[in-house]
Structure 1
Amino acid sequence: MTQIDRSAAAPPRRRVTLHDVAAEAGLSITTVSRALAGYSDVAQATRLRVTELARHLGYRPSLRARNLAMGRDATLRCAVVSLDLSASVLPQSVYGAALPGILAGAAAEGMDVQLAVMDRKDPAGELERFVAEDRADGILLLTAARLRPSDLTPLETSGIPYVLVNRHLAHEADAFPVNCVTPDWVGGTRDAVRRLHRLGHRRMAAIFSRDSSATSTALDHEQGWREGIAQSGGDAADVSIVHATGPLSPLSGHDIARRLLTEGLPGSGEPVTAIVAYNDHVAHGVLRAARELSIAVPDQLSVIGFDNSIGQYLWPALCSYDPHLYAAAEQAAQLLAGLLRGDAAGDPEARRVTIPLDYVCRETCAPAP
């Protein structure tokens, strides 16, 4: 079941409306609207005062409302903004499953979709230019990298509606409430640990990624791991998280798994009986290392992956958690449409929607040897 976090930690930012500008200016909505549109029947001094006040308040005209007022097609424009993934790489990334979901959700809501690829070196600057060019009414933001609150400053300042897909700011010290739709990576990882514990595994390792650029997904995995150990009674005698120093890939999974399987768990040297991998590609490398060392999976080693992208094609077929990124992206598009319309679907208190992960049982998980 989809979960909605209605956090009251900080008041959500509300888009400044024409009513707000009119109230601040002490003028009627009609006068303010005509002043901003540049009509000559409004005194020049009033036009200048209203324009400056609107800029100061961060008012951004609703393109949909403006088009409706002028009798034009009111189709909403949704921009899928990728901060660091090119148009050719994006379909092959974790967001490959998300793109069809975005298109389906946007089509159902009557939104046009465009893809905008931006340089990750200056996300705030890129987003500021994008908003200034009025290229979209709302934004769905995708990134494979860490997303900092400061990256979103131009969106917050402009008031343009936006929704994060597979990212949130909960781990950031200077976080503020944002609209986002994310798989429940915490719950999925927690469930993986508890599942292995029920199967008798006590010497477990996780291959994750955490450094100065750690993403919310990476930190969610670590949180889920810690919670899983605690909820298993804390008697998992020997567990460890091993961080990849480079990109998470079959190669890094292979190298770390080989070290774990030959040297044992860090600190104790005890042989590992189960490995939880950050994603299916890392798990692919783990299976390769086990095969090279003649370690039978799952009889001697259990392996679990995440994202359910290639698990069915591996040998043995990988047990993995499906994050339902299609559904997450579809809901993100629907949430954005609601924000643009200003209806209940855009409830400003519904800041974070989480999609539960489902365990897909195949051939790599068994009772501890």
Structure 2
Amino acid sequence: MKDPRPSASAPHRRITIHDVAREAGVSLTTVSHALNDRGVVDPATRARVKQIAQQLGYRPSVRAQRLRSGRANSIALVSSMPFAVAGGTSRLGFMMEVAAIAAEAALGRGLGVVLVPPLEGAGGLLDSLDIDGAIVIEPVANDAHIALLRQRGVSIVSIGREPGTEDPVPFVDLQSEYTARLLLEHLHAQGRRRIGLLIGATPRQSYVETERAYRAFVAAAGLPCHIVTAQESEGEAGGAAACAALLREQPDIDSLCAPVDAFAVGAIAHAQSLGKRVPQDLMVVTRYDGIRARSHQPPITAVNLHLERVASLAVELLFEHISGGRERASVAAPLPELVPRESSATSATSATSATSAASVTSARPATSAPN
């Protein structure tokens, strides 16, 4: 019998189920049942078919499998956050870190990941993608991506709660309120008593929870309340502009909590342009412990959000819903941990800052899902 495998000089031809059936001397149905462990097939015949398929180098057609199962075996990772804050000029930021981890976790479940960048017109792309579900990173209130995905009837999970609704899509709770308290208590422990808050103007749950935690914290501590917002699309420039506005109104601000790392970098740049020293005159802390925080001079105090676990939890929750499991509507991310750096601690106090952060983290109970 002629070898169905192509020779080294012949053009490549895919080995098909027909080749396996011909070599094994059985029907196409028998081969299909044997390779997929279905139907009634003699065990010896099943084993022989599988052996021949392996020898021939047969690989099942992904397209045929999709037609049989009705599944695309792929998910989309979507973010409405502009690259100015989600990635920055390097494109290495919050979104890309989540994407890398999510892709690895999804692959372990036989799912591919399609990255939908935060660009105008992404809605049209979402409408045409062949996907089983989607993970939406930190959605906004009335998020257009979620609305479109709901219309398509695909499963959706968000990283961060969908704000402004009593019926959010299933989500991974990022513990944003806890994170804000962690940062604020750290600044307070450094002796700072005029703490400003710089958050984004876009309605995201992390901003809602951060502002709520800030207002409660300064009220309980008897401190003044100073809040300023920045436009996400402006990135670092937006942080600089917001810091300028705050310092014009409150020139004696001694510390700043800016959860968006791009805003924190911009704020530091503006403060230094005024001759302010960081951290001596102005301490600055941020949320995401990414490349901006670690490589900036001075390095910026941030928070380990355990994104590797967050992304894995999101994939796990989405896979459950794709597979029909609807029991869990939310899961809590691990409690974040403070990473003290020079932007909020002089060399003389950095060691005590780390100790203080550890005590704060261990003293706080896990928070429940936000309302």
Shorter-chain TM-score: which interval? 0.5 to 0.7
Query: Which letter maps to 1:106?
Result: A
Aligned positions of 1:89-238 closer than 5 A: 91-116=91-116, 123=123, 129-130=127-128, 135-142=130-137, 146-148=140-142, 152-156=146-150, 159-165=153-159, 167-169=160-162, 171-172=163-164, 174-210=165-201, 213-230=202-219, 233-236=220-223, 238=224
Aligned residues: 280
Q: Per residue, is there more helix in 1 or in 2?
A: 2
Q: Deviations over 1:281-308 (max 9, x none)?
A: 2222222233233322222221111211
Query: Which letter maps to 1:207?
Result: L
Deviation at 1:138, TM superposition (A): 2.0
Pair 73,241 (structure 1): closer, same or farther in 2 beyond 3 Å: closer
Query: Which letter maps to 1:285?
Result: G
Query: Which letter maps to 1:303?
Result: V
8 Å contact kept, 1:103–1:330: no
Larger Rg: 2
Distance 2:300 2:73 in 1: 41
8 Å contact kept, 2:293–2:302: yes
Structure 2 unaligned blocks of 5 or more: 1-61, 347-371
8 Å contact kept, 1:101–1:328: no
Query: Which letter maps to 1:363?
Result: E
Q: Deviations over 1:260-318 (max 9, x none)?
A: 44x352xxx6x111111132222222222332333222222211112112112112221
**Cα RMSD after superposing both structures:** 3.6
Q: Match for residue 308 of structure 1? A: 289
Deviation at 1:195, TM superposition (A): 2.1
Distance 1:317 1:68 in 2: 48
Q: Matched residues, percent identical?
A: 20
Structure 1 unaligned blocks of 5 or more: 1-63
State the TM-score, normalizing by the size of structure 1: 0.64
Deviation at 1:179, TM superposition (A): 1.0
Q: Match for residue 55 of structure 1? A: none
Distance 1:260 1:98 in 2: 32
User: Are residue 249 (structure 1) and residue 232 (structure 2) matched?
Assistant: no
8 Å contact kept, 2:285–2:302: yes
Distance 1:77 1:168 in 2: 23
Query: Which letter maps to 2:297?
Result: W
Deviation at 1:184, TM superposition (A): 1.8
Q: Match for residue 321 of structure 2? A: 339
8 Å contact kept, 1:149–1:175: no
Query: Which letter maps to 2:207?
Result: A
Which protein, 1 or 2, shows the higher relative CO under an 8 Å CA cutoff with sep ≥ 6? Answer: 1
Q: Pick from 318, 322, 330 the counterpart of residue 351 of structure 1.
A: 330
Deviation at 1:247, TM superposition (A): 3.5
8 Å contact kept, 1:190–1:226: no
8 Å contact kept, 2:105–2:312: yes
State the TM-score, normalizing by the size of structure 2: 0.64
For the residue of structure 2 that corresponds to 1:205, the secondary structure is strand
User: Are residue 328 (structure 1) and residue 310 (structure 2) matched?
Assistant: yes
Query: Which letter maps to 1:306?
Result: R
Distance 2:299 2:102 in 1: 29
Distance 1:281 1:118 in 2: 16
For the residue of structure 1 that corresponds to 2:316, the secondary structure is helix
Q: Deviations over 1:27-78 (max 9, x none)?
A: xxxxxxxxxxxxxxxxxxxxxxxxxxxxxxxxxxxxx9x96995x6978322
